[in-house]
Amino acid sequence: MPQQKLASVNKFKTKEALIGIVGLGYVGLPLMLRYNAIGFRVLGIDIDESKVSKLNAGQSYIEHIPADKITAARQSGFEATTDFRRVSECDALILCVPTPLNKYREPDMSFVIDTTNALKPYLRAGQVVSLESTTYPGTTEEELLPRVQEGGLVVGESIFLVYSPEREDPGNPDFETRTIPKVIGGHTPACLEVGIALYEQAIDQVVSVSSTKAAEMTKLLENIHRAVNIGLVNEMKIVADRMGIDIFEVVDAAATKPFGFTAYYPGPGLGGHCIPIDPFYLTWKAREYGLHTRFIELSGEVNQAMPEYVLSKLMDGLNDSGKALKGSKVLVLGIAYKKNVDDMRESPSVEIMELIEAKGGIVAYSDPHVLVFPKMREHHFELSSEALTADNLASFDAVVLATDHDKFDYDLIKQHAKLVVDSRGKYRAPAPHIIKA
């Protein structure tokens, strides 16, 4: 049915299409703004009523996306809904839902499956369905394809199915949705053609691959590359520390080599929605093929051990002052997973806080981007951000620098904290009360 493909392609090229974005978080919201900005009508669909209400009121719930952008989008036709019946109005359905791990470190596909099941009754001919959530190779074929075709639609003829992984980097001022190249794989050549027509309107460079599986594997390789290299430099940090060498000085020096080296810096562990999670999608799927992904699992072990390493450094520092961690007041600086954002997903800072509390420490935090500790699926503290004043800093037995936000006054911290445990290499000059972790 080439007419259907041609009609769908033309709708995107003429911007007559209604773009449906399912899941309005760190990935879906920037994508909505981009399509809205270039003149498409956009419908946002989410199960979270509070998110939908805020968006329809012109408010933002993500720090680096200002409310005035949401207001402008509303004024130019964007609306959000929890009503999945409106799926039938959309010409494209872009799925931007979470793919976390369960307690056994296995993929939790419930959000993808539940969302696809919710869309299913309202799918119609001419639509393109695109999955952007990071997942294991085969998900689009194994989970989406049969569900999309259940009602009699034929993928590649009457409806089109693609996988195009998100590549958002929250808080990075150097890149935006438009400028990050978009990888896309289609279930059939016709699917790919319609998918390219959907994305090439909004993204400067679209990179097509031969299948949805290849696109799924591409995203995993990107994130595994980063996880393995961070695991390597975290292990090097421990070795260098034992030898009395500053690993940050070493990485800086190595980075001057103009070829064959990419600088990765150590930290207190991995955070965010990708790097700590995605490698395990491949290790899980590889077991189906009788393969054991040793590199990936080893880097995961190293990175997951980093919060414990920071804790041991904190305990050593307190011990040198004649104090036990039990009963000591400890201030954790930065609880977002990386600097200058409000994103708490998989943040190693939270694990450090739990470890301190489990050892009897009295924990508090300061984060200019997260003023109240949010409700999280697995972690909860009844805390709000402490003010960083000279007196307040001096009242703590130790300060753990976990996330190096630019808004922190590092001179003030150095001057008034009794003990600083620096997991980010902010303090390069040696000082008796600063411990590198």
How far is residue 214 from each of residues 92, 186, 220, measured CA to CA in Å? 22, 10, 10
Strands (DSSP E) found in 18-126 = 18-22, 41-45, 79-81, 92-95
Give yes or no: 90 in active site. Answer: no
Tell me the β-bridge partners of 51: none
Closest CA to 397 of 338, 328, 348: 328
Give the CB-side neighbour count of residue 55, counting CA atoms within 13 A.
Answer: 27
Closest CA to 282 of 294, 270, 264, 269: 294
Give the CB-side neighbour count of residue 383, counting CA atoms within 13 A.
Answer: 22
How far apart CA 321 and CA 315 sit, in angstroms, is 10
Strands (DSSP E) found in 205-286 = 206-209
Token pair for 372: 């109240």
How far apart CA 278 and CA 100 sit, in angstroms, is 9
How far apart CA 224 and CA 219 sit, in angstroms, is 9
Annotated active-site residue in 90, 96, 191, 274: 274
Answer positive or negative: Cα dihedral of 118, 164, 278, 24: negative
Provide the greatest CA pair distance for the chain. 79
Identify whether the C-beta of residue 101 lies closer than 8 Å to the C-beta of residue 270: no
How far is residue 339 from each of residues 30, 342, 369, measured CA to CA in Å? 19, 9, 9
How far is residue 14 from each of residues 2, 22, 86, 201, 435, measured CA to CA in Å? 18, 22, 22, 10, 60
How far is residue 147 from each of residues 72, 83, 132, 173, 246, measured CA to CA in Å? 36, 20, 17, 38, 54
Tell me the β-bridge partners of 184: 208
Closest CA to 211 of 265, 303, 256, 145: 145
The set of catalytic residues is 274
